[in-house]
Each structure stands twice: as structure tokens, then as C-alpha cells.
Structure 1
Amino acid sequence: MRTLCIEGWRGINHSIAMVNQNQILEMVKHSGWRICHRDVSYFLPHWNSNKLDSGFSAEESAIIAGLPAPGGEPIDVCLRIASPVRLGEAGSARRNVTFVVTEFGLTGKSFEPAELSPNRLTVGDDIVITPSQWSCARLLDYGFAPDKVKVVPHGFKADTFHPMTSEEREQARLALGVKPHETVFCNVGVATWNKGLDLLILAFAQLRLLGLPVRLILKDHKGLYGLGVESIFAELTSRMPQLNSAQVRDGISILSTSLNLSQIRSLYCLSDAYVSPYRAEGFNLPVLEAMGCGTHVIVSGGGATDDFVSPALSYQLSTRPGTTADQPQVHGQFVMPELEDLIHAMRLVVDRQLPNPALRKQAREQLAQEYSWATVTHQLMALL
């Protein structure tokens, strides 16, 4: 029996904590491992499970919370999964595996302390794992040795994120007052510049001003970073006053309450497309979850989602490499999606010009095989 000590976040809906918790639910099924957990302080002091509930079922939450703290037993492997990246407390672990992910690129702020070097995290048999080729390239840019960085993708809960029946979907749309002829777009990302919500709102406004029957549903994450969608509106309306018109604003719904996983699945399924015109992502888990629900996705090309988006389930936006002229405050790698291509991609959804349903079904089934949490956690366990 080998002992694995996880040092990380659990109990909240931050993406890193969600990855850890989904992996835990699969790790406990692996025989030959004794798993314990040491909680690491959250990035911000106001984060807590009451305000940022992770949305798992009571049974799953009990499994996650029920992992014991490490005792005096020898630790074979320590898995660190929190931010900023730190050496942790296990100390005596035979081997350390550290989760490192980045969107634009690593800086001293990515580590604690800031001067922590890549070599300190990869001594002997120690390695780092990252979820995408995009993130991996940024780690190598920072100085991590290529043979010390292993790409292990994230997964999705295939037992939760799967397509609805046509009857279930109709009921979900009715519950939100969506009319049969309306096209629904959605996004559940944080209102930060890298997520590209400003581009989504601009593209949606153009379609709405043309009189097209479109709706946009956004999941607000103000509880995480204090950043709400309204801040984006305030900046955009200074340049495009039409955004404040009833014609545009009446088509946008903002969900500010926490949603459980079943409710998030319902949002993906009732939507005609999940739209993520991001500029930089470490992975972009909602895109994978939406595709798991069989929902068409519109995503930026040239970024992290290139690893897993299927042509049968997606439209990849034309992009170009970003520069400081695009965003002087960002120093790192990012892409710039083309707004006109985004409008075109959304118009295709309105006109119901999507890939063949049989191909979509086949692509979704393959996705469930390759990117279920069971599959990708098995890849992780093989590295421990």
C-alpha cells in the first residue's frame, strides 16, 4: 500500500479546486493507494465553501471532505495542487508532483516565494504536470526542463455532463422563458480580459441589433474575484452606446447565484452554443464540459483548446498572436480572436448550419472515452 498526500484546495468552485476534487473522486477507486489530504490556504481570504460551493452531490462531497489529514506515516508521493506554486509541507515525501498551469506565462507572482526556481520543483524524480500543450510551452519558456514537464489533460464528469433528451431540453428552455425560435448562447467564464467576454458581448450586440432572435446567458463569478459582467458593460458602452439599449440588454441574462453541477449541465444543454473567444487559457474546462453535453462550441484557435476540441463539435475562430500594442498591461503570450469571424460563427448557429448530427454524436462519444475524469486520472496515477 502506497501513500499519496495531496496538498491543495477543495470545497470551492475555483477551477484548480474543481480539478483536485474531480481527481480525488477517481483516485479513491484505485486500489493499492492510501490517500490523505492537507488543505492549503485559499488564494483570497474571503473564499469559502458556503459562498463558493463546488456543486458536487452530498455523497461526493462526503468522499472529498472525508480524506484524512496525513499522520506520521511515510509519504510515497506528494501531489501539490494550489496557487501560487509552493514547495509545500510534506518534506519527507519520496517524490513530489506539482501542478503548474498558466494562461499568459509564468512570473515571480506564480510562485511562493517569488524566487522559487523551476529546479527546486524538479529535484531528482520530482516532476511538474500541466494540462495543455499551450501551458507546457509557457513552462518551458520560463525555464522548466522539457523532460520534467508532463502534460495531463483535465477531464469532465461524463456521468453528469451528457446530452439531454429533446423533451428535457425543451423543458429546460421553457423554464428560462426561451422561445422555440430563439438561439441561445452562453458562457460561464470569469469577467477577466483573457476570457474575451467583451468580444462575446460585442458580437452578440451586433446580432441583436440586426433583429435576430438571439439570447445570451452569462454566469457571473463576482464571488471569486469581485469582477462582474457589469464592469465589462460599463467599459464597452463608453465606446458603443447602443449596448445600453433595451434591444440589446433585454436579450442578456446574468446568473449570479452558485449553480450545482446538474444546473450547469442544464445551462450547457439548453444553449445552442457555448462561446469562448478567449485570448489566453491554461485549459478551458467549460469548453470540454459543454462538448460533453453535445453542445456546439465556438472557441479561439491557436490556444489551449486546440488539444481537445473536435471539428464536429466546434468552430475555431481565426486568431493572430497578441502584442503589447493590443494590451500593454499583459506581458506574455496570447492570441487575438477576430471579431468578424466570431459574428460569422454565431450567425452560423442562428442559421442552424452545424456539423452532421451523426458526426456530432460520434465525436461526443469519443470525447467521453478520452477525456472522462476516470481516463485522465488514470494517466495521472501512472506518473505517480
Structure 2
Amino acid sequence: MDDVQQARIALFVHAPLLGSCPRGEIARRLVRALIGNGAQVEIREYWRTAAGPRELTLSDGARDFSVRTALSEDSISEIKTWSRCTVPLSSPLLVIANPDEDENAARAAIDVPESGELLTISEEDALAFIEQTSALCRYLARYQGRPPSKAPSPPSASTSATTRIGHAADLPSREQEQLRQVVSEALQGQAFELVNQTACDVFIEPRPCCDPSPLRTAALAQRPCIAAAFGENAQLLPHHGLGWPVGVRLTDAGPMVDDEGIKVALREILNSPQAAQSRGARGSAHIQRLGNTEAAPPAQRSSEGAQLRIHLEAPIFASNSYAQIARHSARIYREAPRIDLRIANRQRPERPPELDREFWPLLEPVWTHSEVCLRSGWPFRHERPASDVWVQRFDWEYGALPREIAGTLSHGPDEIWVHSNHVRSVLLDAGIAEEKIQTLPHGYDPTIFSPSRPPLEDLRQRIDGRHAFLFVGAAIPRKGIDALLAAWLSAFQREDRVCLVVKIDSSSSAYAHQEQLSLLTRIAEHPRAPELLLLDRNLSDDEMGRLFTSVDTLVHPFRGEGFGMPILEARGAGLPVIVSAGGAPSDFLRETGTIKIATKRVPAQIPEATLGKPWLLDPDREQLIAALRLAQEHQQQLRSEALADARWYQSEHSWRRRCEAQIERLYQLGMQSRAKRRRSAYAPARSSKALVHA
């Protein structure tokens, strides 16, 4: 016994302690014996259980679970006592798994990433060790992990009555006073002091926009961290199980943190110090897994089962914006070592096959099972995909959601990805639960859309030195092509040194029945109309990038946009833009290099029944005419501003930067799904057979 205590045995145990199955009984007896021999045990998966007459709520320090069990009150009380214990990072993980269950053991290791060595024992060996627990403890002593050598030690329970509140060293004095006021109101007379981020009991970062380094340092030191859920801080502490992210509201003055959220989080930490310390340890492990820190890497373990099988269900071989987004995302997703990407394509190809040959090896039938399905495209599909988790990309342009789509979004997808605050507000107005919605903006490819790309020589010859305006999109009223044509005919004459290049895709199934095609053709052929060059052929991604450097100004007087990809790509390529004011593009547009046209909301007609009255934006005709003339007259100034902004767009809005956040979110959802699947399918096959024979 003395040898065991001297070894300071600490371990994670992954077991269905609340279950009435034989393995649950073995796990309870084993844990009871280990604790009786002086070992520290942190329980995982103790909520995994079948139906029973008693309902209770338990927490693993990161998530709360409401479960039912058939165990007695005494057994439940005992398990609750066990559940309060935490062990150091890198402690070994003990899993009861028979020889034919290697996959389950590997998945357990994935579910407890902060553990060290993965150790498995069979049910038979576990029964034997219950009678010889000291022998098991001596065996476990060989695998005791060490805390990360370069990470500061976790905080110890303070004997002082004064709570130390940490903040970043560069927090301005005015904001320090605001923080002091918030903490004072939260603690209601309890003594506290403000200190630096590592010598504290709790770290608070109240600024939505700031250098994330102080938060990273505090989290790595295993301090309980409260931070605004915004920007890079939201990536460091991405959900409530790793820290205390606090909501942020957007105001005219910029993003503002919710002071009440800070108060609630601080009281929770101080009222439950053990749970707070456990969550701080998990936050530190998360920071280490993110990389870019000086901490030692987590203990090595088997990588079996670590990759997530992701289906990207999208019209990847089409020529619309859904397809373009899918292709750019797929190129980055497939490079992620944690993702096994497959593509499920439902729509017929609309582009020459050789353009998309790189995606052929990733194709799979849509009915093939995957762990996570990321679905996009139009028309909207209501049926659930053959996946454990359904993530739906969603854009909407008409203000009020159709009732049928709103119903599916409320009860179908596990998560909804929108790409602008405009669409997010539409979903919230429709009653979609806020926790289901993730705002993950699109990006663009700076290697394709760049000021340095060579122009299309044949197009430049047709432009012949004139000021070239460009419209990219479908020939439908929602895109504003009719408003542009009316303004174009009023703003210029045939002899003016201008031309309008219109790039449409007449073959795209996403924009069937493009009403303005015949009008475009008539204007292009009219001998007295200002010059209009119509491009209706498919262009490769490379040619699209060169199209933008062949012209001088993008004009996009949209009535409704879910994001506005051509606008972002134009700014990345160094083009000034003329756009409608308001709507989704406001999220990413800078004022320099941009001419905005005043708009007003007008009723819209769509065939579906909607929640509320649909609407679109109506761009002011006279302002659009004036903007076209202004862009020609001040071409050099606008182009200079746009070129200066291009570098900022490249750093802030690239696909790679945007997809990193998406990949992290997909991985989190997949890991949560694996844990849920194990909980719902815990019963061993032999137990089922025994019931059948009985």
C-alpha cells in the first residue's frame, strides 16, 4: 500500500458506470477498488446508460448530461462522489475493452484527448484485478504522465480571502476601471485585486478585438478563462466546455462584450472551484492541440480512427456560386490531416469535365454513410443525409423565410452555417434557435483573384482602351441586372469611351429562366447603344481571376444577396466596386474603393408561403447613374484606393483562413457525434443474446 501511495497513481477511466450491463458492474467494482487503494480516478462516460426509473443530471466538467439509470440511490450517490475528482493532464486512460473491441478503445482515446497512455484490459482481466488491485496500481505506476514541461503549473487553491483577477498587460487603464466595476458588482463586496494573467485565480479578457496572446498564455497555464466569444478568442475557447466564452453584441461603435455574461461566469467559477480547475485543465489541453504554443505536445497515442469521414454534398461540377464555394472549400478540406473528405454530387455537370478532374477521386454515392455531412446547393433538400451529423450551409435573400424551409431548418440539421449577419438575422427572425446557427463567412482565393494576374488578352482587345465596367452574376432581377441596364442606357452614349462586360452563365441550373437574357442580347447588338460585351461561356477558375484584371470597375446593384462572392473577389483583385448599400456585403466591404447606392426595402413576391412578408432592396436609379459616371471620372483615385486595400483582403478573407475555422468546427461536431454514438449503442452484443435466449 505504501508503494502505491508513493507512486501517486492517477488515471482516467472510460466506463459506463451507470449502466446495468455486466460491464457497468465490473467498472464500478474496479473503480471502487482503485480508490480504496489510494488511486485518484477521473471518470469519463459514466453517463452512458440505458433507460431506468431514476433521472439525474451529471457533468464531466465540460458538459451536462440528463440520464436515467436503474441503479440504487446509494450507487448513484457513490458515482456522484467519484465524478468530482480530477486528475493531472497526461494521466493514463484505462478502458475496459475485449480483444475484439480495438476500435472502441481508440475512440475512447479520441474522446479524452488530454489523457496520456491508452491502456486496455478485458472484462476477464478486470475481474481478476478487482481481487488484486495493488498489482494493477503497480502496473499503472509505469505509465504516470507528467504535466507539460513548459506550461506553468496549475493554480492551487488559494488560502487568501482575496480573489486575484487576471487581465492582459496591455489592457488600457480606462478599460481596467470598467473591468474593476464589473468584477465588484459580481463579487458583491468580496475582496479582489487585478493582477497579470499568470499570477491569478481567474483570467478575464473583456475585449472582443485584441491580441489573443494573453488569453492563450492564461489558458495554457490552466487558469479558468472568461473571454469575449469573438475573433481569435472564440477559436481558442470555442465552446462552453473549455472556458467561459461571453456573448458579444454588434453596435455602431463596434462589437461590445456582455458585462452580465462576465458576472455570471465569474460567480460560476468561484462557486464551483473544482469544476473550474478541471475546465481550466481541458482548456490548456485544447490550446496545446491547436499548436503555435511553446507547450510540450500531448502524449503520443494511436492515430487509428482519428480521421473524420466528411461528406461535402454540393453541386461541385456546376458553374454557379454554390459550386465555386464548394470547389474552393474542398481543396482546403482535403489537405486537413484530421479529415477524410468525400464528395457527394447530386447535380449534373455543367462544366467541361477536364476542369474538375482533381475532384474525381473523392466522389462517393450520396447514400454512403459519413460522420458529418456538409450540404449546400439549390433547390433546398429537406431529407436528412446518410450521416450522423447534418450541417446545412444556407443563404437567403428575400427577408422572410418560406414556412417549409423554416420548419426543416428548425428540426432537421444539427447545425446551420450562414455566411453573413444579414442571413443570421433572417433566421433568428424566423424563430430558428440561436445555438444552431454558426456565422462562418466565405473567403476567396488570393492566388486566383489578385491584382498581379495577367488579363484576358482577347477581352482586352475588345475593350480597346475604354473604361470597362463588369457585371458577374445571373440575368435575374434579384441580381439587379435590369436596374443596371436601365442606368447604363441613361448614363452613357455610344460614343463614350466606356463598355459594360456582362459575365453570365446561361447553362446554370441554379438560375433557370433568366428573364433578362433577351434584353442583354438586344442591347449588345444595338448599333446606337453604349457598348455591351456579353460573355455567356464557361470560364475556368483561372480565367475568372484574369477576367477581373481585364476590367476597371465591378458594378453589382443587387436587390438581394446572401453573401456577394463576386464583390469580395473584385476587392481582392484590386477593383473598385459599385454596390447597393445594406445587405450581406456590408460585413466585409471597406469604405475606400467602394461606391454605395442608396436603397430602400420593397415588398417581394415569391411562390412559397412565408413567415412574414418577403422583401428586397431597391437601388436608387439616379444614384446608380451618378455612380457609373463618377467611377469613370475618378478612375485613378478609386483604383488606387482599391489596390491599397487588396493586401488587407488577402490577409483577412482568404479561403484558407476561413476554412481553418470551418475545419475546426467540423472536427468538433464529429467528435461530439462519436461520443453520442457510443453512449446510445453501449450494450454489448452478448447481453442482447442472453436476453433472447432467456
- Scaled by the length of structure 2, what TM-score is found? 0.47
In 2, the alpha carbon distance for the partners of 1:215 and 1:149 equals 42
Shift of 1:128: 0.3
Cα 1:87/1:247, change in 2 over 3 Å? same
CA contact (8 A) 1:6 1:37 kept: yes
Shift of 1:267: 2.2
| Residue 319 of structure 2 corresponds to residue 32 of structure 1 | no
In 2, the alpha carbon distance for the partners of 1:130 and 1:22 equals 17
Which region of structure 1 is more displaced relative to structure 2, 357-366 or 12-21? Answer: 357-366
1:1-384 matches, within 5 Å, as 1-40=307-346, 42=347, 48-49=348-349, 52-53=350-351, 58=355, 61-69=356-364, 75-83=370-378, 84-91=380-387, 93=388, 95-105=389-399, 107-108=401-402, 111=405, 116-122=407-413, 126-164=414-452, 168-169=454-455, 171=457, 174-176=460-462, 178-180=463-465, 182-209=466-493, 211-224=495-508, 225-227=512-514, 229-232=516-519, 246-248=527-529, 251-323=531-603, 331-353=613-635, 355=637, 359-384=641-666
In 1, the alpha carbon distance for the partners of 2:441 and 2:458 equals 31
Which region of structure 1 is more displaced relative to structure 2, 361-370 or 224-233? Answer: 224-233
Matched residues, number? 352
Letter in 2 for 1:104: Y
Cα 1:133/1:110, change in 2 over 3 Å? farther
Shift of 1:198: 1.0
Shift of 1:309: 1.4
CA contact (8 A) 1:105 1:138 kept: yes
Letter in 2 for 1:97: V
State the SS of the aligned residue for 2:469.
strand
Shift of 1:299: 0.6
Cα 1:273/1:90, change in 2 over 3 Å? same
In 1, the alpha carbon distance for the partners of 2:517 and 2:345 equals 33
Cα 1:73/1:232, change in 2 over 3 Å? closer
Letter in 1 for 2:578: I
Shift of 1:10: 1.4
In 2, the alpha carbon distance for the partners of 1:355 and 1:136 equals 35
1:311-340 per-residue CA deviation (whole Å, 9 max, x = no partner) reads 22321111112235xx69895132111111
Cα 1:54/1:265, change in 2 over 3 Å? farther
In 2, the alpha carbon distance for the partners of 1:63 and 1:170 equals 24
Cα 1:257/1:378, change in 2 over 3 Å? same
Shift of 1:274: 0.7
In 1, the alpha carbon distance for the partners of 2:517 and 2:490 equals 18
Which region of structure 1 is more displaced relative to structure 2, 353-362 or 220-229? Answer: 353-362
In 1, the alpha carbon distance for the partners of 2:367 and 2:458 equals 51
Stretches (4+) displaced over 6 A: 70-74, 327-330
In 2, the alpha carbon distance for the partners of 1:173 and 1:71 equals 40
Cα 1:345/1:87, change in 2 over 3 Å? same
Using the aligned pairs only, state the percent identity: 22
Shift of 1:131: 1.2
Cα RMSD between the aligned structures?
A: 3.0
Shift of 1:364: 0.7
In 1, the alpha carbon distance for the partners of 2:436 and 2:360 equals 31
Shift of 1:118: 2.8
Shift of 1:209: 2.9
In 2, the alpha carbon distance for the partners of 1:164 and 1:70 equals 40
State the SS of the aligned residue for 2:622.
helix
In 2, the alpha carbon distance for the partners of 1:209 and 1:357 equals 23
In 2, the alpha carbon distance for the partners of 1:305 and 1:71 equals 33
Shift of 1:208: 2.0
- Scaled by the length of structure 1, what TM-score is found? 0.82
State the SS of the aligned residue for 1:85.
coil
Q: Which has the higher contact order (CA 8 A, sep 6+)?
A: 1
In 2, the alpha carbon distance for the partners of 1:105 and 1:306 equals 16
Shift of 1:163: 1.1
Shift of 1:211: 4.7
State the SS of the aligned residue for 2:663.
helix
1:349-371 per-residue CA deviation (whole Å, 9 max, x = no partner) reads 21125546664333111111121
1:49-84 per-residue CA deviation (whole Å, 9 max, x = no partner) reads 2xx2189x75xx233222142799974322122331
Unaligned runs of 5+ in 1: 43-47
In 2, the alpha carbon distance for the partners of 1:314 and 1:285 equals 15
In 2, the alpha carbon distance for the partners of 1:157 and 1:27 equals 14
1:74-98 per-residue CA deviation (whole Å, 9 max, x = no partner) reads 743221223313343314x1x3211
CA contact (8 A) 1:279 1:336 kept: yes
